[in-house]
Amino acid sequence: MTAQKFITLQPTGDKLPLVGFGTARIPNEDTEQVVYDAIKADNRLIDGALSYGNEAEVGQGVRRAIADGIVKREELFIVGKLWNNFHEKQHVKSVFQMTLDNYGLGYIDLYLVHFPFATEYVDPKQPFRLANDKNELKLIKAPLQDTWRELEALVDAGLIRNIGISNFNVQSTLDLLSYARIPPSVLEIEHHPYLQQKRLIKWVRSQGIQVIAYASFGNAVFEAVPPGTEHLENLMKHPVIANIAEKHNLSTGQVLLAWAVSHQVVVIPKTVNVNRMKSNLDIDHVKLDDEDQQKIDDLEANARFNDFYINNYGFEFPLFN
């Protein structure tokens, strides 16, 4: 495989691989082996979250790969996320400690605020949801400034290397930058040809913030899609993507990943198939030409699939408006 490429994070100078591995929606009973296989396939970036429900199993896979000599800890880049129920300052450190214990590592490389809003506290041992039993979104008054101060203290203690944000827009990021002593190094967002978010990406980069994409395969990732997007063809089967894939002797997944990486956007595709793990990583040699790029760029539809709408999350919440 061609040497993996990286981008550099501020302010630490840490190297973040451009291609990594996502762990959302992997069944718990499969997660340890899948993560172990992903690392064995040469993945060095592992993106996880407490809310995925499989964080402990991710940690088991990581530790087994280290114990078997496949990789050294310092060669891995491990990501965790703070869920909405734990933004209040008295909960941040204890919930982060759960993540640290689940991973079984002395530190993690990047810890993200999962969403820019806070909901009522729940027992962290129970499954996390956005709505309660009545499908109500119970927002609370937990200033993000207080949350961020706790994260900065965890950086100071050497338990987190980098802190960042996820699903933030320009306004929420701008507010954070007004008081952050340690600025966010990363913004993780939904990103694919149907939702390119070029203006947002350009602006956060001007602030020294790098971008990680989730849902790089667009509507192929989601079982339900928001109203008004049903007509959009599955990106993994789209004729434009399929034709480019045939032209370069690639899979459609490789084309979608290579397109994002060509824009220096980090991708974290998830698969339980070892061969696809390897092919997802094997895109360093891919050079999409100007015609390819333009055809993919023209697929922009401003279509967000991970949105809060009745059919998906059970409630309406215009977070991204």
Lowest pLDDT segment from 69-73, 133-137, 315-319: 133-137
Considering the domain boundaries, does residue 34 fall inside one?
A: yes
Give the number of other Cβ atoms within 10 Å of residue 98's Cβ. 16
With a pLDDT cut of 70, the percent of the chain lying above it is 98
Binned at pLDDT 50, 70 and 90, residue 96 comes out as: very high
Is pLDDT above 60 for 216? yes
Cβ proximity of 250 and 276 under 8 Å? no
Domain that holds residue 13: 8-218+265-285
- Whether the per-residue pLDDT at 275 is higher than 60: the answer is yes
pLDDT of residue 1: 38
pLDDT at 4: 57
Which residues are documented as binding site for substrate? 114
Mean pLDDT for 256-285 is 96
Nearest Cα to Cα of residue 221 among 242, 241, 239, 236: 236
Q: What is the pLDDT of residues 127-179, one digit of tens each?
A: 777 877 777 889 999 999 999 999 999 999 999 999 999 999 999 999 999 99
CA distance 185 to 160: 12
Does residue 271 belong to any structural domain of this protein? yes
DSSP state of 167: S
CATH of the domain at 87: 3.20.20.100
Name the phi and psi angles at 160, rounded to 5: -130, 135
Mean pLDDT of the chain: 95
pLDDT interval class at 65 (50, 70, 90): very high
Tell me if 23 is assigned to some domain: yes
Q: How many domains does the chain have?
A: 1
Residue 241 maps to a domain: no
Active site residues: 52
Give domain status of residue 258, yes or no.
no
Q: Which stretch of 1-10, 109-118, 129-138 has the lowest confidence by average pLDDT?
A: 1-10
* Residue 106 covered by a domain: yes
Would 61 be classed as within a structural domain?
yes
User: In what side-by-side order are the strands of the sheet with 186-190?
Assistant: 21-22, 45-47, 77-82, 108-113, 160-166, 186-190, 210-214, 266-267
| pTM listed for this prediction | 0.96
> Does some domain include residue 233?
no
pLDDT tens column, 256-269: 999 999 999 999 99
Percent of the chain's residues with pLDDT above 90? 87
Please report the pLDDT score of residue 2 as a whole number: 41
Q: Is the pLDDT of residue 312 over 80?
A: no
SS3 category, 183:
coil
